[in-house]
Structure 1
Amino acid sequence: MTIVVRYFAAARAAAGLEEEKVHLPDGATVADAVAELRRRHPEGLPRILDAVSYLLDGIAVRDQGRLLTDGAELDVLPPFAGG
């Protein structure tokens, strides 16, 4: 399956791109996708991934064991300051 990962703010800067397509095996989870992102961007992104939130097709991810589907969008959102 192929998903689209979109990066925002500090995650975008650490990954060096706004979005990318990630190929994963069928049955992959959000945790599997995160592991692949760590592998692809070992320099600055792993530190950011320790503090981010994720949206899967626009819905907040609370359980990284959630299954992905082909064509899903995974948004990587670093903590935001402000109020």
Structure 2
Amino acid sequence: MTVTTVRFFAAARAAVGVDEVALDAVVLDEALRAVDAADPERWVALQERCSYLVDGVTTRDRSTSLAGVTVVDVMPPFAGG
């Protein structure tokens, strides 16, 4: 299994409480559920609205495989876009 760095931005960073974590997960949803968030309720609610960059490729499909993936960026909706 590959260790994947999950980086958090804006509201996601506020909900989780850190800039990034390193996780061992098979699919994106598993990685998101493994995050030990500072505000768990906010984190769970926010995941439904986020987009994810999986090694630079945008997805909203949380069943996306993380095999060989080095970086996932968690991108919440931003004002004006």
Common fold, TM-score beyond 0.5? yes
TM-score, reference length from structure 1 = 0.80
TM-score, reference length from structure 2 = 0.81
Aligned length: 78
Partner of 1:23: 24
Partner of 1:81: 79
Q: 1:14 to 1:62 in 2, by over 3 A?
A: closer
Q: Secondary structure at the match of 2:64?
A: coil
Q: Which runs of 4+ in 1 moved over 4 A?
A: none
Percentage of pairs with the same residue: 38
Contact 2:6 2:20 in 1 (8 A): yes
Q: Which structure 2 segments of 5+ residues have no match? A: none
Q: Secondary structure at the match of 2:34?
A: helix
When the two chains are superposed, the root-mean-square deviation of aligned CA atoms in Å is 1.7
Q: 1:62 to 1:43 in 2, by over 3 A?
A: closer
Q: Deviations over 1:21-54 (max 9, x none)?
A: 1123xxx1112112222xx222431121121111
